[in-house]
Amino acid sequence: MPLSHNDSCPDVSIVIPVFNKLELTQVCIASILEHGAQASFELIVVDNGSTDGTPDWLRQEVAKGHCKAILNHENQGFAHGCNAGAASANGQYILFLNNDMAVKANWLDPMVTTLENDPEVGIVGAKLLFPDETLQHSGVTLVSKPHDPESELFGMHLNYKQPSHTPKANLPKYFQAVTGAALLIRRKLHLKLGGFNPQYWNGNEDVDLCLRVRAEGFKIVYRPESVIYHFESQSGPERWSHVKENTTLFNNTWKGRVKADCILNEAKEYKLTSDSQMQFYPERRLCRPDNTDKNGDTVSVIVLTWNALEYTQLCAASLLKHTDSRHEIIFVDNGSNADTVDYLLEMEQTHSQIKVILNGKNLGFAAGNNVGMAAARGQHVCLINSDTVVTEGWLENMITHLHTQPSAGLVGPLTNSITGPQKLDSVSYDQNTCEGMDSFAHTLTEKLKGQSQKLMWVVGFCVLIRGELLERLGGLDESFGQGNYEDTDYCLRAFVAGYYSIIAADSFVHHFGSRSFVEGKVDYSTLLDQTHEIFRRKWNLSVGHSQNMKINPDALACLGFIPALHFEPLPGLTTLALWDWEKDHWNKRGEAFFNEGRLDEAQRVFRRIVEFSPGFDRAANNLACALWQTCDQEKAIPEAVQILEGILERDPKNEDALWNLKEIKPALMAH
């Protein structure tokens, strides 16, 4: 890859502070030049008064055009060195990198991609390995030692010296801090904060910077896809000369201002606290329109309609009565008869709060709602069935739970009719006419004010979805067709992304239940069986898995968030393009699924790559092979042949496509 160190505006300025150990610096820079990156970068080496020939060697490298060099006459410490390099940086981002490093392929781009795609992130860290393939850094956790007043709060590297394949070290995560040995930060943010605090001497300045970045409202992310070998602390005895002073300064600055992720008790046991900030990091993939409310508390309420006009009228009347005017109400019609369409259009004309979208045909529950979600301009989105009647405070109370529980991604109300714990055992009003419902709901919600219950999923008859989650999961999975299980699927996708679902006990919504299906004469039992099979295969559940929905949360947590499996595009909205490293990373994940015999998941991964990057022929070949091996060959084989022929139109000499087509065509003839 090109080294654009002379570029006046590179993506990244790589700042490497050095003090002696020339042989390590040479290995570090050679590895960077060898592996390069898709992101453009410049190299800035800051020498802190080395006496081992480093200055002369750097002058030679500058003459070759390999780097810039700042030559200090004395060792002013890590913070001063980094800040001096940052002052001469031209990049949009700055990567602070120790010189005792050797980078691997795709080492930089996952970190850069995170800052490029996610404006909420201020700093990104990498996975650092010792030469023996054990972990040196996979995120920093803040630890409290209540029994040691002199060093009560400190940062600790997670999974230190554990094998590199340790599962919990290989999932992207939010942390309060990452190591300064390989730390990527937005340049403007670094300059705004004044850089590293030079009062620290080679210790704690990185954790301090991360905490100051978080205080500015930004997040810190660890990306294990960026892998760097670290020989650790090869700078000499000065590295450890001010440990006590650094610890005292750090505690004087942050004790009482931040909360620990875990506690180290006198028995030397680490216990997670309820305030732990260590969470899964799901990548942002969807770009919502510029006129979307990003920072308010507005909601786009989306009502999918398909005939059943009587119930739609009841729903609309209750929404207008009990929904604050700052929230928009979007009716998305899935091909209803003229009477329903005329009613909706009249409502749009007479109420500025209402917007109507006519699909013209029944797209199914997921696809119909996706149209509404794509059109939403509220910060959050609420999907609600047309056979519901809302009550006072129904939405505002759910919004409050989103505010008070940052890890909650979806919120559902209590109701009279649904499956699971959201259903009350009994209600004291007429469920056919709703007479007495408002009084019942008021008494109930006042009694349960502020109460909630955490779950793995809530039911989609009415569900409030956090806006930032929408940017990571996208829409509902349209493969579920006419309806059922797409709501549970969405909640599980949220769960693997690190968000949970909650029931807002102080919100009540009446539900008549399946009125559109009844009027459309849908065979509900058959439909349920069909969609459950789709759900079972998607989540790799055992054959014969019961619809009672017993799912192992630990297994889901180990799976982690896989964008190629768990993100669904929304119609008309921009999906962030894949970087080269992402194509390779996703493709390897799909190949792993294929080799494990998990063909449904493999197909989904390969299909998503091809959808986002049509010219990535390796994934297209893999998709053809996955289709070839599927049980439903009557449909799959023709598609596989079509894919391979498309590859050969672009590249007639593609050996993989030629071989695969030769092998698959006899199967096509057999069908």
**pLDDT tens digits, 548-573:** 667 878 888 778 899 999 999 999 99
**pLDDT bracket for residue 547 (50, 70, 90):** low
* Cβ count within 10 A of residue 151: 16
Per the prediction, the chain carries an average pLDDT of 91
pLDDT score of 4: 37
CA dist 489 and 603 (Å) reads 18
Angle between helices 617-628 and 580-595 (to 10 degrees): 20
- Mean of pLDDT values over 278-291: 93
Cα gap 60→66, rounded to integer Å: 9
* pLDDT for 133 beyond 60: yes
**In the chain, where are the structural domains located?**
12-280, 295-553, 573-670
For the segment(s) 12-280, the CATH number from 3.90.550.10, 3.90.650.10, 3.10.20.340, 3.30.70.100 is: 3.90.550.10
Confidence of residue 96 (pLDDT cuts 50, 70, 90): very high
For the chain, how far is it from start to end, CA to CA, in angstroms?
46
Phi, psi of 502 (to 5 degrees): -135, 150
Provide the greatest CA pair distance for the chain.
88
Whether the predicted pLDDT of 163 surpasses 60: yes
Residue keyed to tokens 């996208």: 474
Lowest mean pLDDT among 238-247, 446-455, 589-598: 238-247
Which residue pairs from 27-33 have beta carbons closer than 8 angstroms and sit at least 24 positions apart in sequence?
A: 27/102, 28/97, 28/98, 28/99, 28/100, 28/101, 28/102, 28/103, 29/61, 29/66, 29/67, 31/101, 31/102, 31/103, 31/104, 32/103, 33/3, 33/66
Nearest to 156 by CA among 147, 165, 167, 143: 143
Comparing 109 with 527, the larger pLDDT belongs to 109
Report the Cα 556 to chain-centroid distance in Å: 15
The answer to whether the beta carbons of residues 331 and 375 sit under 8 Å apart is no
- Tell me if 220 sits within 8 A of 178, measured CB to CB: yes
Q: How many CB atoms lie within 10 A of CB 669?
A: 7
The CA distance from 352 to 113, in Å, is: 40
Check whether 459 has a pLDDT greater than 50. Answer: yes
What is the rounded CA–CA span in Å between residue 580 and residue 109?
9
254-263 residue pLDDT tens = 988 999 999 9
Helix (H, G, I), strand (E, B) or coil at 500: strand
Which helix (H) or strand (E) covers residue 304, if one does?
strand 299-305
Considering only CA atoms, which of 261, 206, 221, 196 is closest in space to residue 120? 221
Q: Note the pLDDT tens digit of each residue in 53-68.
A: 999 999 999 999 999 9
Phi-psi region of 65 (alpha: psi -120 to 50; beta: other; left: phi over 0): left
Question: At residue 237, does pLDDT exceed 80?
Answer: no
Query: How does residue 3 score in pLDDT terms, banded at 50, 70 and 90?
Result: very low
pLDDT score for 549: 62
Selecting from 3.30.70.980, 2.20.25.10, 1.25.40.10, 3.30.710.10, what CATH number does the domain 573-670 have? 1.25.40.10
The C-alpha angle with vertex 308 and arms to 305 and 312, in degrees rounded to 5, equals 60
Closest CA to 277 of 142, 115, 138: 142
Quick one: pLDDT band at residue 235, thresholds 50, 70, 90? very low
How many degrees, rounded to 5, is the angle at CA 493 between CA 487 and CA 498? 125
- Confidence band (pLDDT; 50, 70, 90) for 233? low
What pLDDT, on a 0 to 100 scale, did the predictor assign at position 238?
52
Check pLDDT > 90 for residue 234: no
- Burial pattern 7-38, b for ≥16 Cβ within 10 A else e, equals eeebbbbbbbbbbbbbebbebbbebbbeebbe
pLDDT > 90 in the chain, percent:
78
Residue 106 has pLDDT above 50, yes or no: yes
The whole-number pLDDT of residue 268 equals 79
Nearest to 11 by CA among 82, 85, 94, 124: 94
Q: Quick one: average pLDDT of 41-58?
A: 95
295-553 and 12-280 share a CATH fold: yes
Q: What's the average model confidence in pLDDT over 16-25?
A: 95
* CA separation, residue 99 to residues 20, 27, 207, 210, 505 (Å): 10, 8, 19, 21, 55
Distance CA 64, CA 207 (A): 36
> Distances in Å between the alpha carbon of 375 and those of 325, 381, 423, 557?
18, 10, 31, 32
pLDDT value for 150? 66
Fold exhibited by the domain 295-553: Spore Coat Polysaccharide Biosynthesis Protein SpsA; Chain A (3.90.550)
pLDDT band at 492, cuts 50/70/90?
Answer: very high
| Residue 487 neighbours by CB under 8 Å, 6+ apart | 457, 458, 459, 460, 463, 476
- Of 591, 563, 565, 656, which is closest to residue 617 (Cα–Cα)? 656
Q: Which residues contact 666 (CB under 8 A, 6 or more apart)?
A: none
Q: Kindly compute the dihedral angle of the four CA atoms of residues 205, 81, 125, 99, in this order, to the nearest 10 degrees.
A: -120
Q: Which residues lie closer than 8 Å to 130 by C-beta, 6 or more apart?
A: 136, 161, 229, 230, 231, 232
